[in-house]
Amino acid sequence: MTMPAGKYYVGDLCYVMHECWDEACGLFFRGRNDHGCNEGEFTLKDGRRFVSYNTKWGDGGYYDENGNEYSVDAGLIGCIRVDDINFTEEGNCMNGGEVWEFQTDFTHAGGYNDMGRDWDGVIRIGHVRISTD
């Protein structure tokens, strides 16, 4: 799966999607009974797209290959375009993650190595690699 080029918030989406968190959670768990379903690419009713992947150990602090820390309170790390964040909504704040500019469309994956076979706990969003193990 790919997301379009642009400037994205990468981190726990619960920090930047307050006004639509119930809708996002509804997308995660619609018609599913397992706990690994909130992974992949999703689209809100208004057309905003976002990506979500579970961390290996749930909440806490995780680091990318450059030493940037990503705070997690919802057990996931994902991305959403900065332009799609409603900063007038009380509570939306980008302090828990990082803003990355992707010059071209980018791929994303969560938890499995580059071959997609073995769990390694690394969330991959474009060139960003965040170890959650």
Tell me the whole-structure pTM to 2 decimals.
Answer: 0.89
Residue 78's Cβ-count burial label (10 Å; 0-12, 13-18, 19+) is: buried
Q: Which domain holds residue 126?
A: 2-131
Q: Which of 1, 13, 124, 7 is closest to 78 using CA atoms? A: 13
Q: What token pair was written down for 55?
A: 């961390």
Report the number of distinct structural domains present in the chain. Answer: 1
Read off the pLDDT of residues 91-111 as tens digits, 9 standing for 90 and up. 898 989 999 999 999 999 986
Read off the pLDDT of residues 11-56 as tens digits, 9 standing for 90 and up. 999 999 999 999 998 888 765 554 456 788 999 999 999 999 999 8
What is the band of 120 on the pLDDT scale with cuts at 50, 70, 90? confident
- Give the whole-angstrom CA distance, residue 73 versus residue 61: 9
Contact 108, 48 (CB under 8 A): no
